Amino acid sequence: MRLTLILLLTPLLTPLLTTAALAAPGGAVDGLLSGYRAEGASDFVAARAATMWSATTPAPDGGPARSCTSCHPVDMRAAGQHVRTGEAIEALSPSVTADRLSDPAEVEKWFARNCKWTLGRACTPQEKGDFLVLIQGAK
Ligand code: HEC
């Protein structure tokens, strides 16, 4: 009897639960932040990330100096533009682009790629946490 009820309810509940997960802005952030703390990060500070966001690093190829703002604007709620391809990049703020910061693997993939390209090195857990707090805070 109980099993029948569960079987009946599953198709009804699954879309509801999925919708709730997708609708939660920045859904993956808490998990990522505790992971970074476990890796030795301390309190996360958005202001520190804001400074880093616009700070420039010389390009290894002698091209224009690089920063996160080479592709993303200072205002996380605004769309960006890829400096090399010219392609539009949707706003990073989850308050504007609903699926931002919702998938931990996606966030880590882009941190890996973007920190390497921009800074010439991986970001530390502390830096990644600071960035997430900054991006998520833009409402
Ligand atoms: C050369 C261009 C470029 C630069 C510079 C750049 N990014 Fe990005 N970033 C992208 C692209 C492209 C995406 C993924 C496109 C998309 O999802 O719309 C992305 C996605 C992201 C995401 C993923 C958010 C999510 O959950 O979807 C984060 C976080 C991010 N960037 C942070 C940074 C940080 C921090 C820096 C500076 C250290 C940086 N980016 C510099 C191009 C760039």
Over the stretch 3-53, which tens digit does the pLDDT of each residue have? Answer: 565 555 566 555 555 544 444 555 799 999 999 999 999 999 999 999 999
86: three-class secondary structure by DSSP:
coil
Cα 69 to ligand 1 centroid, rounded to whole Å: 10
Residue 118 pLDDT:
98
Among 32, 44, 72, residue to substitute to test ligand 1 (most atoms within 8 Å of Cβ): 72
Instruction: Using alpha carbons, select from 67, 66, 96, 101 the residue that is nearest to residue 79.
Output: 96
Residue 23 pLDDT:
46
- Count Cβ atoms below 10 Å from residue 78 Cβ, excluding itself: 14
Q: What is the pTM of this model?
A: 0.86
pLDDT tens-digit readout, 82-97: 999 999 999 999 999 9
Average predicted confidence (pLDDT) for the chain: 89
Q: What integer is the mean pLDDT of 74-89? A: 97
Which CATH fold topology does 25-137 show? Cytochrome Bc1 Complex; Chain D, domain 2 (1.10.760)
- CB–CB of 79/88 below 8 Å? yes
Q: Concatenated DSSP letters for 39-83?
A: TT-----HHHHHHHHH--B--TTSSS-B-GGGTS-SSTTS-EE-T
Instruction: Using alpha carbons, select from 32, 33, 22 the residue that is nearest to residue 98.
Output: 22
